[in-house]
Structure formats: C-alpha cells, structure tokens
Amino acid sequence: MIFAPLGCLAAILLFLSIPLILLLFFLNVLSFSFGALGLSPSAALILIMAMLIGSLLNIPLSRRRIAYSMPSTMRGLFAPPPPTHSGIAINVGGAIIPLCLCVYLATIVPSLWQILVATAIMAAVSKSLARVVPGRGVVLPVFVPPVLSALLAIMLAPGFAAPCAYIAGTAGTLIGADLLNLHRLKGFPGIVSIGGAGLFDGIFLVGVVAVVLTALV
C-alpha cells in the first residue's frame, strides 16, 4: 500500500477548507458592516441568520401561465419540460429584510434629505446602467453601485456615512435596477426573484460593500 506524503494530505485538506474559509471571511465582513451601522454583535448575528433562512423564501408578486409547444424532434423527447409559468417574486432574505433594515436606519439618522438625495441618484444611475438579460434577469456592473453609494454618502452625509451608504446602495439599486424594470421582466419564462440569491444577491451586497468602503475611507 502506498500512502500519500504528508504535504500532499495537508494541501488536500487546505484545498477542501477553502470554501469554509471564504464563508467565515464573508460572515466577518457582514459582522463588521453591521457593526458600522451601529448594530450590536448579537443583533448582527440574528440579522445574518434571518437573512440566511429568509433566502429560502420567495413571496410571489405576479404569476401567469405560459403555453409552450413541445418540439417534435427526437431530441425534444429527452429535453427537460419547459417552464409553464412566468412571474415575479421577492426574496425575504435578499430584499425584504435589507429593506426593513433601511427603514430602521432611516429612523435613527439625524437627517433624511441627504439619504433621499443619495438614493435618488443611485436609482437614476442604476436605471441607466441596468440591462435585462434573458435567463439571468437584471444585470448591473459589479463595482459601480457600491462605490457610487459610498462616495455619495461620504460627500452628502459625512456624519452618518455608513447608514446613508447602506440605504442608498440597497434601496437605490432596488428601485432603479429592479422596480423600474419590472415591466421588462413580465415576459420572461420562469419566476424572476428580486434578491433571490439571499446573502449573495447584488441588492444586499451593494449595501454591505458600500458600508465597508465608507468605514475604510
């Protein structure tokens, strides 16, 4: 019997642990971000767990049946059945809970006009940059929304940049990229979920990254 060298075994274990390391790093970033928003560690942990569980839940906003004609070729006999419904849903963990956090933060900031201006600018920019891609939904450039919302927060609300960045990044992206493009998503086959990726959705990540950027500046 031939045993692998100890170094190879360690390399294999390290490779297998990479997903866990990345997950722990991501959770630490979330905790840091929520801490910058003024949340206690216990409140941040509860919020993260609620978002994880909520990412499994989608609330339908619209739903309609689509009639498809099955292909008559031999290949079509083995193809998976096409979707028979189309519609739009909103994810609890990726959209609803972040929006509830935005409402809470809006009640504790000393002034709202800076947040409203930053959110309106973010919505306009997100609307102009958003592209509707069949099979994927609404697509935005990765770095533009979080960087822009962080810059707007630092310029407009230096005294409370973190909550301003989170609200502008989350609500502005949701309004501009998703809500203002709902009419373009109605004809898509399948159910399009807003915030459907939960903690890994663009709506949520924009707010988190924006807060981290404001804390680092």
pLDDT confidence of residue 152? 94
Domain span at 40: 6-216
Distance CA 131, CA 126 (A): 10
Distance CA 27, CA 188 (A): 33
Who wins on pLDDT, 160 or 88?
A: 160
3-class secondary structure, 84: coil
Task: Describe the crossing of helices 6-36 and 202-216 by its angle, rounded to 10 degrees.
Answer: 80
Q: How confident is the model at residue 216 (pLDDT cuts 50, 70, 90)?
A: confident
Q: How confident is the model at residue 2 (pLDDT cuts 50, 70, 90)?
A: very low
Q: How confident is the model at residue 65 (pLDDT cuts 50, 70, 90)?
A: low
125, pLDDT greater than 80: yes
Q: State the Cα angle at 24 between 22 and 29, rounded to 5°.
A: 95
- Going by C-alpha positions, the residue among 72, 89, 94, 208 that lies closest to residue 145 is 208
The per-residue b/e assignment along 189-212, b for 16 or more CB within 10 angstroms, e otherwise, is eebbbbbbebbebbbbbbbbbbbb
Query: Which of these ranges, 27-36, 65-74, 173-182, 192-201, has the smallest mean pLDDT?
Result: 65-74
Share of the chain above pLDDT 70, in %: 71
Say which DSSP state 94 is in: I
Q: How confident is the model at residue 83 (pLDDT cuts 50, 70, 90)?
A: low
What are the tens digits of pLDDT across the range 6-40?
455 556 665 666 776 766 667 777 778 888 888 88
37 found inside a domain: yes
For residues 172 and 119, is the Cβ–Cβ distance under 8 A? yes
As for how many domains the chain has, the answer is 1
The pair of three-digit structure tokens given for residue 17, joined into one six-digit string: 């642990």
Handedness of CA 61, 88, 60, 203 (dihedral sign): negative
1 found inside a domain: no
pLDDT confidence of residue 1? 42
pLDDT confidence of residue 137? 67
Q: To which residue do tokens 């609330």 refer?
A: 59
The pair of three-digit structure tokens given for residue 13, joined into one six-digit string: 């274990």
Who wins on pLDDT, 186 or 4?
A: 186
The model carries a pTM of 0.80
pLDDT confidence of residue 73? 53
182 found inside a domain: yes
C-alpha dihedral (47, 52, 54, 60), degrees to nearest 10: 130
3, pLDDT greater than 50: no
Distance CA 91, CA 193 (A): 6
Please name every residue paired with 87 in a beta bridge, in sequence order, or none if there are none. 63, 191
pLDDT confidence of residue 193? 79
